[in-house]
A and B are shown apart, each in its own frame.
Chain A
Amino acid sequence: MRQFTYLRPSTSKAAIDALSKDPNAQFIAGGTNLIDLMKKGVMAPEKLVDINNLPLKEIKKQTGNLHIGALALNSDVSENKLVTQYHPLLSLALKAGASAQLRNMATVGGNMLQRTRCFYFYEPSLPCNKREPGSGCGALEGVNRMHAIFGWSDKCIAVHPSDMAIAMVALDASVLVYGPKGNRRIPFQDFHRLPGDTPEKDNSLEKGELVMGVEIPDGPFTKNVHYLKVRDRASYAFALVSVAAALNISGKTIKDARLAMGGVAHKPWRLLDAEKALIGKPATEETFKQAADIAMRGAKGFKYNSFKIPMGKNAILDALKTAAAKV
Protein backbone atom coordinates (compact mmCIF):
# COMPACT_ATOMS: atom_id res chain seq x y z
CA MET A 1 0.00 0.00 0.00
CA ARG A 2 1.39 3.41 -0.92
CA GLN A 3 1.63 6.16 1.64
CA PHE A 4 -1.20 8.64 1.80
CA THR A 5 -2.26 11.57 3.86
CA TYR A 6 -5.13 11.13 6.20
CA LEU A 7 -7.64 13.60 7.47
CA ARG A 8 -10.79 13.36 9.45
CA PRO A 9 -13.11 16.31 8.88
CA SER A 10 -16.10 16.92 11.10
CA THR A 11 -18.48 18.50 8.61
CA SER A 12 -19.77 17.24 5.29
CA LYS A 13 -18.78 20.52 3.65
CA ALA A 14 -15.19 20.08 4.74
CA ALA A 15 -15.25 16.48 3.59
CA ILE A 16 -16.38 17.21 0.06
CA ASP A 17 -14.03 20.17 -0.18
CA ALA A 18 -11.17 17.90 0.78
CA LEU A 19 -12.16 15.38 -1.83
CA SER A 20 -13.31 17.43 -4.76
CA LYS A 21 -10.11 19.38 -5.07
CA ASP A 22 -7.92 16.33 -5.09
CA PRO A 23 -8.08 14.06 -8.11
CA ASN A 24 -6.68 11.14 -6.18
CA ALA A 25 -8.51 11.33 -2.88
CA GLN A 26 -11.09 8.95 -1.51
CA PHE A 27 -13.62 8.98 1.27
CA ILE A 28 -13.23 6.20 3.76
CA ALA A 29 -15.94 5.01 6.16
CA GLY A 30 -15.97 1.33 7.19
CA GLY A 31 -12.96 0.62 5.02
CA THR A 32 -13.89 -3.01 4.43
CA ASN A 33 -13.74 -2.64 0.68
CA LEU A 34 -11.40 0.30 0.14
CA ILE A 35 -8.63 -1.00 2.40
CA ASP A 36 -8.95 -4.37 0.73
CA LEU A 37 -8.54 -2.75 -2.69
CA MET A 38 -5.66 -0.59 -1.49
CA LYS A 39 -3.86 -3.65 -0.16
CA LYS A 40 -4.28 -5.32 -3.53
CA GLY A 41 -3.04 -2.20 -5.32
CA VAL A 42 -6.32 -1.89 -7.22
CA MET A 43 -6.89 1.54 -5.74
CA ALA A 44 -4.10 3.81 -4.60
CA PRO A 45 -5.47 7.07 -3.22
CA GLU A 46 -2.99 9.69 -2.10
CA LYS A 47 -5.39 11.09 0.39
CA LEU A 48 -7.99 9.46 2.57
CA VAL A 49 -10.80 11.55 3.94
CA ASP A 50 -12.21 9.70 6.93
CA ILE A 51 -15.87 10.62 7.18
CA ASN A 52 -16.65 8.67 10.33
CA ASN A 53 -16.97 11.85 12.38
CA LEU A 54 -19.81 13.16 10.22
CA PRO A 55 -23.27 12.99 11.81
CA LEU A 56 -24.71 10.50 9.32
CA LYS A 57 -25.55 7.50 11.47
CA GLU A 58 -29.18 8.18 12.20
CA ILE A 59 -32.05 5.87 11.33
CA LYS A 60 -35.34 7.71 11.61
CA LYS A 61 -38.93 7.49 10.51
CA GLN A 62 -40.08 10.50 8.56
CA THR A 63 -43.41 11.19 6.99
CA GLY A 64 -43.79 8.76 4.15
CA ASN A 65 -40.39 7.19 4.39
CA LEU A 66 -37.59 5.74 6.47
CA HIS A 67 -34.33 7.65 6.47
CA ILE A 68 -31.08 5.79 7.00
CA GLY A 69 -27.87 7.75 7.34
CA ALA A 70 -24.98 6.78 5.12
CA LEU A 71 -22.77 5.94 8.09
CA ALA A 72 -25.29 3.66 9.78
CA LEU A 73 -23.59 0.30 10.18
CA ASN A 74 -24.92 -2.70 8.29
CA SER A 75 -25.35 -4.56 11.58
CA ASP A 76 -27.22 -1.68 13.22
CA VAL A 77 -29.54 -1.29 10.25
CA SER A 78 -30.25 -5.00 10.08
CA GLU A 79 -31.26 -5.08 13.75
CA ASN A 80 -33.03 -1.72 13.86
CA LYS A 81 -36.66 -1.94 14.99
CA LEU A 82 -37.88 0.57 12.41
CA VAL A 83 -36.18 -1.41 9.68
CA THR A 84 -37.50 -4.78 10.80
CA GLN A 85 -40.96 -3.28 11.23
CA TYR A 86 -41.26 -1.32 7.99
CA HIS A 87 -38.75 -2.99 5.69
CA PRO A 88 -37.89 -6.49 6.89
CA LEU A 89 -36.60 -7.34 3.42
CA LEU A 90 -33.73 -4.92 3.95
CA SER A 91 -32.88 -6.52 7.25
CA LEU A 92 -32.80 -9.98 5.67
CA ALA A 93 -30.61 -8.83 2.81
CA LEU A 94 -28.14 -7.17 5.14
CA LYS A 95 -27.88 -10.25 7.32
CA ALA A 96 -27.12 -12.35 4.26
CA GLY A 97 -24.05 -10.26 3.53
CA ALA A 98 -20.46 -10.81 4.68
CA SER A 99 -19.88 -11.72 8.34
CA ALA A 100 -20.94 -10.31 11.69
CA GLN A 101 -17.57 -8.57 12.02
CA LEU A 102 -17.72 -6.96 8.59
CA ARG A 103 -21.32 -5.89 9.11
CA ASN A 104 -20.11 -4.15 12.28
CA MET A 105 -17.71 -2.10 10.15
CA ALA A 106 -19.42 -1.64 6.81
CA THR A 107 -21.74 1.33 6.40
CA VAL A 108 -24.83 1.74 4.25
CA GLY A 109 -23.02 4.21 2.02
CA GLY A 110 -19.97 2.01 1.72
CA ASN A 111 -22.05 -1.05 1.00
CA MET A 112 -23.66 0.49 -2.05
CA LEU A 113 -20.32 1.87 -3.21
CA GLN A 114 -18.45 -1.40 -2.90
CA ARG A 115 -16.77 -2.49 -6.06
CA THR A 116 -17.10 -5.73 -7.95
CA ARG A 117 -15.49 -8.91 -6.68
CA CYS A 118 -14.49 -10.00 -10.16
CA PHE A 119 -11.09 -11.64 -9.76
CA TYR A 120 -9.71 -9.99 -12.88
CA PHE A 121 -10.58 -6.61 -11.39
CA TYR A 122 -8.93 -7.55 -8.13
CA GLU A 123 -5.63 -8.70 -9.62
CA PRO A 124 -3.71 -5.76 -11.07
CA SER A 125 -1.54 -7.90 -13.32
CA LEU A 126 -4.53 -9.32 -15.19
CA PRO A 127 -6.56 -7.46 -17.80
CA CYS A 128 -9.65 -5.56 -16.64
CA ASN A 129 -11.41 -2.68 -18.33
CA LYS A 130 -12.95 -1.56 -15.09
CA ARG A 131 -9.64 -1.20 -13.33
CA GLU A 132 -7.62 -0.20 -16.35
CA PRO A 133 -9.78 0.95 -19.26
CA GLY A 134 -8.61 -0.52 -22.53
CA SER A 135 -6.77 -3.47 -21.03
CA GLY A 136 -9.54 -5.90 -21.99
CA CYS A 137 -11.99 -7.97 -20.03
CA GLY A 138 -10.29 -10.98 -18.47
CA ALA A 139 -13.56 -12.60 -17.53
CA LEU A 140 -15.27 -12.51 -20.92
CA GLU A 141 -13.38 -15.57 -22.11
CA GLY A 142 -11.97 -16.50 -18.75
CA VAL A 143 -13.34 -18.04 -15.60
CA ASN A 144 -16.72 -16.34 -15.51
CA ARG A 145 -18.72 -18.56 -13.20
CA MET A 146 -19.57 -15.66 -10.88
CA HIS A 147 -20.38 -13.20 -13.65
CA ALA A 148 -23.32 -11.38 -15.20
CA ILE A 149 -26.15 -12.79 -17.27
CA PHE A 150 -28.00 -9.50 -17.64
CA GLY A 151 -26.93 -6.09 -18.86
CA TRP A 152 -23.30 -6.89 -19.51
CA SER A 153 -21.24 -5.46 -22.34
CA ASP A 154 -18.28 -6.88 -24.18
CA LYS A 155 -16.17 -4.51 -22.09
CA CYS A 156 -17.25 -5.88 -18.73
CA ILE A 157 -19.32 -8.77 -17.39
CA ALA A 158 -18.75 -8.12 -13.68
CA VAL A 159 -21.54 -8.17 -11.13
CA HIS A 160 -22.27 -5.90 -8.21
CA PRO A 161 -21.66 -7.83 -5.01
CA SER A 162 -24.01 -6.08 -2.59
CA ASP A 163 -26.97 -7.86 -0.98
CA MET A 164 -28.29 -4.71 0.66
CA ALA A 165 -28.57 -2.96 -2.69
CA ILE A 166 -30.85 -5.70 -4.05
CA ALA A 167 -33.35 -5.02 -1.28
CA MET A 168 -32.94 -1.27 -1.69
CA VAL A 169 -33.74 -1.37 -5.36
CA ALA A 170 -36.72 -3.64 -4.74
CA LEU A 171 -38.01 -1.20 -2.13
CA ASP A 172 -37.74 1.81 -4.45
CA ALA A 173 -35.21 3.55 -2.23
CA SER A 174 -33.51 6.81 -3.12
CA VAL A 175 -29.93 7.82 -2.51
CA LEU A 176 -29.39 11.24 -0.98
CA VAL A 177 -26.26 12.87 -2.24
CA TYR A 178 -24.44 16.05 -1.29
CA GLY A 179 -21.73 17.49 -3.44
CA PRO A 180 -20.02 20.60 -4.73
CA LYS A 181 -23.21 21.48 -6.58
CA GLY A 182 -25.45 20.95 -3.60
CA ASN A 183 -27.93 18.24 -2.73
CA ARG A 184 -29.54 15.80 -5.09
CA ARG A 185 -31.59 12.63 -4.92
CA ILE A 186 -30.91 9.63 -7.12
CA PRO A 187 -33.42 6.81 -7.41
CA PHE A 188 -31.62 3.65 -6.26
CA GLN A 189 -32.55 2.05 -9.56
CA ASP A 190 -30.44 4.68 -11.35
CA PHE A 191 -27.64 4.84 -8.84
CA HIS A 192 -25.63 1.93 -10.22
CA ARG A 193 -24.81 1.77 -13.89
CA LEU A 194 -24.51 -0.87 -16.54
CA PRO A 195 -20.96 -1.22 -17.81
CA GLY A 196 -21.47 -0.24 -21.44
CA ASP A 197 -18.28 1.23 -22.82
CA THR A 198 -17.24 2.77 -19.53
CA PRO A 199 -17.14 -0.04 -16.98
CA GLU A 200 -14.67 1.96 -14.89
CA LYS A 201 -17.64 3.96 -13.67
CA ASP A 202 -19.68 1.90 -11.22
CA ASN A 203 -22.38 4.45 -10.42
CA SER A 204 -23.75 7.86 -11.17
CA LEU A 205 -21.99 9.71 -8.35
CA GLU A 206 -19.94 12.63 -9.52
CA LYS A 207 -16.52 13.57 -8.31
CA GLY A 208 -16.64 14.96 -4.81
CA GLU A 209 -20.18 13.83 -4.13
CA LEU A 210 -20.87 12.22 -0.82
CA VAL A 211 -23.66 9.78 -0.09
CA MET A 212 -25.52 11.21 2.89
CA GLY A 213 -28.13 8.53 3.27
CA VAL A 214 -31.01 6.66 1.74
CA GLU A 215 -34.75 7.03 1.98
CA ILE A 216 -37.11 4.14 1.60
CA PRO A 217 -40.73 5.04 0.94
CA ASP A 218 -43.32 3.41 3.16
CA GLY A 219 -44.78 0.36 1.55
CA PRO A 220 -46.95 -2.63 2.21
CA PHE A 221 -44.10 -5.16 2.25
CA THR A 222 -43.92 -5.83 5.95
CA LYS A 223 -44.66 -9.55 6.08
CA ASN A 224 -44.42 -11.63 2.91
CA VAL A 225 -40.81 -10.94 2.09
CA HIS A 226 -37.78 -13.11 1.56
CA TYR A 227 -34.17 -12.67 0.60
CA LEU A 228 -32.72 -15.85 -0.85
CA LYS A 229 -29.01 -16.09 -1.41
CA VAL A 230 -27.73 -19.13 -3.25
CA ARG A 231 -24.04 -19.59 -2.65
CA ASP A 232 -21.26 -22.15 -2.61
CA ARG A 233 -21.23 -22.43 1.14
CA ALA A 234 -23.84 -21.82 3.80
CA SER A 235 -22.62 -18.40 4.89
CA TYR A 236 -19.89 -15.81 4.32
CA ALA A 237 -19.82 -16.13 0.55
CA PHE A 238 -20.90 -14.02 -2.37
CA ALA A 239 -24.06 -14.95 -4.20
CA LEU A 240 -24.22 -17.19 -7.21
CA VAL A 241 -27.65 -15.64 -7.54
CA SER A 242 -29.79 -13.91 -4.96
CA VAL A 243 -33.44 -12.89 -5.00
CA ALA A 244 -35.23 -10.18 -3.07
CA ALA A 245 -38.92 -10.96 -3.11
CA ALA A 246 -41.70 -8.90 -1.54
CA LEU A 247 -45.37 -9.58 -1.84
CA ASN A 248 -48.44 -7.80 -0.60
CA ILE A 249 -51.07 -10.50 -0.49
CA SER A 250 -54.67 -9.81 0.24
CA GLY A 251 -56.78 -12.91 0.67
CA LYS A 252 -55.18 -15.08 -1.97
CA THR A 253 -54.45 -12.31 -4.43
CA ILE A 254 -51.15 -10.57 -4.93
CA LYS A 255 -51.90 -6.85 -4.62
CA ASP A 256 -48.39 -5.69 -5.14
CA ALA A 257 -45.04 -7.31 -5.72
CA ARG A 258 -41.36 -6.48 -5.84
CA LEU A 259 -38.66 -8.65 -7.26
CA ALA A 260 -34.96 -8.02 -7.74
CA MET A 261 -31.90 -10.15 -8.26
CA GLY A 262 -28.30 -10.01 -7.21
CA GLY A 263 -25.27 -11.78 -8.62
CA VAL A 264 -26.58 -11.42 -12.14
CA ALA A 265 -25.69 -7.93 -13.34
CA HIS A 266 -23.41 -4.94 -12.96
CA LYS A 267 -26.17 -3.38 -10.87
CA PRO A 268 -28.99 -4.62 -8.66
CA TRP A 269 -31.36 -6.17 -11.17
CA ARG A 270 -34.97 -5.15 -10.72
CA LEU A 271 -37.47 -7.44 -12.45
CA LEU A 272 -40.32 -5.13 -13.37
CA ASP A 273 -41.94 -7.38 -15.95
CA ALA A 274 -42.02 -10.27 -13.54
CA GLU A 275 -43.55 -8.02 -10.91
CA LYS A 276 -46.30 -7.09 -13.36
CA ALA A 277 -46.93 -10.77 -13.99
CA LEU A 278 -47.48 -11.29 -10.26
CA ILE A 279 -49.77 -8.38 -9.50
CA GLY A 280 -53.44 -9.26 -9.51
CA LYS A 281 -52.74 -12.98 -9.71
CA PRO A 282 -53.35 -15.62 -7.09
CA ALA A 283 -50.34 -16.35 -4.90
CA THR A 284 -49.77 -19.84 -6.26
CA GLU A 285 -46.77 -21.81 -7.46
CA GLU A 286 -48.14 -21.53 -10.99
CA THR A 287 -48.11 -17.73 -10.83
CA PHE A 288 -44.63 -17.74 -9.35
CA LYS A 289 -43.35 -20.03 -12.08
CA GLN A 290 -44.72 -17.76 -14.78
CA ALA A 291 -43.11 -14.75 -13.14
CA ALA A 292 -39.81 -16.59 -12.88
CA ASP A 293 -39.93 -17.46 -16.57
CA ILE A 294 -40.58 -13.86 -17.47
CA ALA A 295 -37.85 -12.69 -15.11
CA MET A 296 -35.15 -14.64 -16.87
CA ARG A 297 -36.07 -13.56 -20.38
CA GLY A 298 -33.14 -11.96 -22.10
CA ALA A 299 -30.60 -13.55 -19.79
CA LYS A 300 -27.48 -14.67 -21.55
CA GLY A 301 -24.66 -16.52 -19.91
CA PHE A 302 -21.09 -17.40 -20.69
CA LYS A 303 -18.98 -20.55 -20.65
CA TYR A 304 -19.11 -21.09 -16.89
CA ASN A 305 -22.18 -19.19 -15.70
CA SER A 306 -25.08 -20.27 -17.87
CA PHE A 307 -26.31 -22.30 -14.91
CA LYS A 308 -27.43 -19.00 -13.42
CA ILE A 309 -30.36 -18.92 -15.82
CA PRO A 310 -32.13 -22.07 -14.57
CA MET A 311 -30.82 -21.44 -11.08
CA GLY A 312 -32.17 -17.90 -11.17
CA LYS A 313 -35.54 -19.14 -12.28
CA ASN A 314 -35.68 -21.69 -9.50
CA ALA A 315 -34.40 -19.23 -6.94
CA ILE A 316 -37.15 -16.77 -7.83
CA LEU A 317 -39.71 -19.52 -7.45
CA ASP A 318 -38.25 -20.55 -4.11
CA ALA A 319 -38.04 -16.97 -2.84
CA LEU A 320 -41.63 -16.21 -3.83
CA LYS A 321 -42.91 -19.43 -2.29
CA THR A 322 -41.05 -18.73 0.92
CA ALA A 323 -42.23 -15.10 1.02
CA ALA A 324 -45.83 -16.09 0.37
CA ALA A 325 -45.72 -18.77 3.07
CA LYS A 326 -44.80 -16.32 5.84
CA VAL A 327 -47.52 -15.67 8.34
Chain B
Amino acid sequence: MRRIKTALILFALLAIITGGIYPAIVTLVARTAFPAAARGSLIFDAGGNVLGSSLIGQQFSDAKYFWPRPSSTADHPYNAMASGGSQLGPTNPELAREVSERIDALKAAGVSAPFPSDLVTSSASGLDPHISPEAALVQIPRVAKARGMNEDDIRSIVFRMIEDRALGFIGAPRVNVLQLNIKLGDMEGKAYGKR
Protein backbone atom coordinates (compact mmCIF):
# COMPACT_ATOMS: atom_id res chain seq x y z
CA MET B 1 0.00 0.00 0.00
CA ARG B 2 2.77 2.39 0.96
CA ARG B 3 4.50 1.61 -2.30
CA ILE B 4 1.40 2.55 -4.30
CA LYS B 5 1.03 5.78 -2.35
CA THR B 6 4.66 6.73 -2.99
CA ALA B 7 4.25 5.86 -6.67
CA LEU B 8 1.14 8.05 -6.95
CA ILE B 9 2.66 11.10 -5.30
CA LEU B 10 5.99 10.81 -7.12
CA PHE B 11 4.23 10.30 -10.44
CA ALA B 12 2.09 13.40 -9.87
CA LEU B 13 5.11 15.53 -8.91
CA LEU B 14 7.28 14.40 -11.81
CA ALA B 15 4.36 14.78 -14.24
CA ILE B 16 3.83 18.38 -13.10
CA ILE B 17 7.52 19.15 -13.52
CA THR B 18 8.13 17.42 -16.87
CA GLY B 19 4.70 17.90 -18.45
CA GLY B 20 3.79 21.33 -17.09
CA ILE B 21 6.63 23.43 -15.72
CA TYR B 22 9.26 22.30 -18.23
CA PRO B 23 7.27 23.02 -21.42
CA ALA B 24 5.97 26.27 -19.92
CA ILE B 25 9.47 27.56 -19.20
CA VAL B 26 10.71 26.48 -22.63
CA THR B 27 7.78 28.32 -24.24
CA LEU B 28 8.49 31.45 -22.25
CA VAL B 29 12.19 31.52 -23.08
CA ALA B 30 11.56 30.58 -26.72
CA ARG B 31 9.00 33.33 -27.24
CA THR B 32 11.27 35.93 -25.69
CA ALA B 33 14.50 34.93 -27.40
CA PHE B 34 13.26 33.61 -30.77
CA PRO B 35 9.70 34.89 -31.26
CA ALA B 36 9.52 34.42 -35.05
CA ALA B 37 10.98 30.92 -34.99
CA ALA B 38 8.80 29.81 -32.07
CA ARG B 39 5.71 30.83 -34.06
CA GLY B 40 6.62 28.93 -37.21
CA SER B 41 8.95 31.19 -39.27
CA LEU B 42 5.93 32.64 -41.05
CA ILE B 43 6.20 34.76 -44.20
CA PHE B 44 3.84 37.75 -44.47
CA ASP B 45 2.88 39.91 -47.45
CA ALA B 46 2.83 43.70 -47.37
CA GLY B 47 -0.70 43.62 -45.97
CA GLY B 48 0.24 41.36 -43.07
CA ASN B 49 -1.43 38.24 -44.49
CA VAL B 50 0.31 34.92 -43.92
CA LEU B 51 1.72 33.56 -47.19
CA GLY B 52 3.19 30.46 -45.65
CA SER B 53 6.15 29.33 -43.60
CA SER B 54 9.69 29.40 -44.88
CA LEU B 55 10.05 25.89 -43.43
CA ILE B 56 6.96 24.32 -44.98
CA GLY B 57 6.90 23.71 -48.73
CA GLN B 58 3.99 24.67 -50.99
CA GLN B 59 2.72 23.24 -54.24
CA PHE B 60 3.56 25.11 -57.46
CA SER B 61 2.49 23.88 -60.88
CA ASP B 62 2.41 27.03 -63.07
CA ALA B 63 5.30 27.13 -65.58
CA LYS B 64 6.43 30.55 -64.31
CA TYR B 65 7.25 29.15 -60.88
CA PHE B 66 9.98 26.80 -59.79
CA TRP B 67 8.38 23.47 -58.92
CA PRO B 68 8.97 21.80 -55.59
CA ARG B 69 9.50 18.10 -54.96
CA PRO B 70 6.51 15.80 -55.45
CA SER B 71 4.47 15.42 -52.26
CA SER B 72 2.55 12.34 -51.12
CA THR B 73 0.53 13.95 -48.33
CA ALA B 74 -3.06 12.77 -47.96
CA ASP B 75 -5.92 14.48 -49.83
CA HIS B 76 -3.76 17.01 -51.68
CA PRO B 77 -0.03 17.72 -52.15
CA TYR B 78 1.67 19.77 -49.42
CA ASN B 79 -1.21 19.21 -47.01
CA ALA B 80 0.54 20.49 -43.88
CA MET B 81 -2.01 18.88 -41.57
CA ALA B 82 -1.09 15.39 -42.82
CA SER B 83 2.69 15.14 -43.11
CA GLY B 84 4.15 11.92 -44.43
CA GLY B 85 5.82 10.07 -47.27
CA SER B 86 4.57 7.65 -49.90
CA GLN B 87 6.04 4.63 -48.03
CA LEU B 88 6.60 3.01 -51.42
CA GLY B 89 9.27 0.30 -51.27
CA PRO B 90 12.20 0.38 -53.70
CA THR B 91 10.90 -2.45 -55.88
CA ASN B 92 7.21 -1.52 -55.75
CA PRO B 93 6.01 -1.13 -59.39
CA GLU B 94 3.90 1.81 -58.20
CA LEU B 95 7.10 3.74 -57.40
CA ALA B 96 8.51 3.16 -60.87
CA ARG B 97 5.16 4.17 -62.40
CA GLU B 98 4.95 7.42 -60.41
CA VAL B 99 8.55 8.39 -61.13
CA SER B 100 8.16 7.75 -64.83
CA GLU B 101 4.94 9.82 -64.92
CA ARG B 102 6.77 12.71 -63.24
CA ILE B 103 9.63 12.42 -65.71
CA ASP B 104 7.14 12.52 -68.61
CA ALA B 105 5.52 15.63 -67.11
CA LEU B 106 8.91 17.34 -66.81
CA LYS B 107 9.77 16.45 -70.40
CA ALA B 108 6.41 17.81 -71.58
CA ALA B 109 7.21 21.06 -69.79
CA GLY B 110 10.50 21.34 -71.62
CA VAL B 111 12.83 20.10 -68.90
CA SER B 112 15.42 17.75 -70.34
CA ALA B 113 17.24 14.71 -68.97
CA PRO B 114 19.05 13.75 -66.80
CA PHE B 115 16.68 14.36 -63.92
CA PRO B 116 17.94 14.97 -60.39
CA SER B 117 16.41 12.26 -58.21
CA ASP B 118 14.90 14.71 -55.70
CA LEU B 119 12.77 16.36 -58.40
CA VAL B 120 11.01 13.11 -59.33
CA THR B 121 10.64 11.41 -55.92
CA SER B 122 8.36 12.41 -53.06
CA SER B 123 9.90 13.63 -49.82
CA ALA B 124 9.70 11.99 -46.38
CA SER B 125 7.55 14.73 -44.83
CA GLY B 126 5.65 15.59 -48.00
CA LEU B 127 6.45 19.17 -46.95
CA ASP B 128 10.13 19.42 -47.97
CA PRO B 129 10.64 23.16 -48.56
CA HIS B 130 13.83 22.58 -50.57
CA ILE B 131 15.08 21.22 -53.85
CA SER B 132 18.71 20.53 -54.69
CA PRO B 133 20.57 23.23 -56.66
CA GLU B 134 20.64 20.81 -59.62
CA ALA B 135 16.85 20.50 -59.50
CA ALA B 136 16.55 24.29 -59.58
CA LEU B 137 19.04 24.70 -62.43
CA VAL B 138 17.23 22.30 -64.78
CA GLN B 139 14.05 24.36 -64.39
CA ILE B 140 15.59 27.72 -65.36
CA PRO B 141 14.86 27.59 -69.11
CA ARG B 142 11.19 26.79 -68.47
CA VAL B 143 10.72 29.54 -65.87
CA ALA B 144 12.57 32.10 -68.00
CA LYS B 145 10.42 31.33 -71.02
CA ALA B 146 7.15 31.53 -69.07
CA ARG B 147 8.13 34.85 -67.53
CA GLY B 148 9.74 36.30 -70.61
CA MET B 149 12.88 36.89 -68.59
CA ASN B 150 16.54 36.39 -69.38
CA GLU B 151 17.86 32.95 -68.27
CA ASP B 152 21.03 34.51 -66.87
CA ASP B 153 19.03 36.87 -64.66
CA ILE B 154 17.11 33.98 -63.18
CA ARG B 155 20.25 31.90 -62.80
CA SER B 156 21.90 34.65 -60.78
CA ILE B 157 18.86 34.80 -58.49
CA VAL B 158 18.96 31.02 -58.04
CA PHE B 159 22.66 31.11 -57.20
CA ARG B 160 22.04 33.81 -54.62
CA MET B 161 19.29 31.69 -53.05
CA ILE B 162 21.42 28.53 -52.62
CA GLU B 163 21.90 27.72 -48.94
CA ASP B 164 25.22 25.99 -48.30
CA ARG B 165 25.97 23.11 -45.96
CA ALA B 166 26.08 24.13 -42.29
CA LEU B 167 29.67 24.96 -41.26
CA GLY B 168 30.65 23.97 -44.79
CA PHE B 169 30.20 20.19 -44.35
CA ILE B 170 26.93 19.30 -42.56
CA GLY B 171 23.83 18.48 -44.60
CA ALA B 172 23.36 19.36 -48.27
CA PRO B 173 23.23 22.54 -50.40
CA ARG B 174 19.64 23.44 -51.21
CA VAL B 175 17.22 26.03 -52.55
CA ASN B 176 14.04 27.07 -50.73
CA VAL B 177 11.33 26.91 -53.39
CA LEU B 178 8.73 29.18 -51.75
CA GLN B 179 11.31 31.89 -50.99
CA LEU B 180 12.73 31.62 -54.52
CA ASN B 181 9.31 32.01 -56.09
CA ILE B 182 8.44 34.98 -53.88
CA LYS B 183 11.76 36.53 -54.82
CA LEU B 184 10.98 36.06 -58.51
CA GLY B 185 7.61 37.75 -58.00
CA ASP B 186 9.40 40.72 -56.41
CA MET B 187 11.83 40.91 -59.33
CA GLU B 188 8.94 41.26 -61.70
CA GLY B 189 7.71 44.18 -59.66
CA LYS B 190 4.46 42.42 -58.86
CA ALA B 191 3.00 42.21 -55.42
CA TYR B 192 3.21 38.59 -54.45
CA GLY B 193 0.02 37.11 -53.17
CA LYS B 194 -1.79 38.36 -56.27
CA ARG B 195 -2.43 35.76 -58.86
Physical interaction between A and B: no
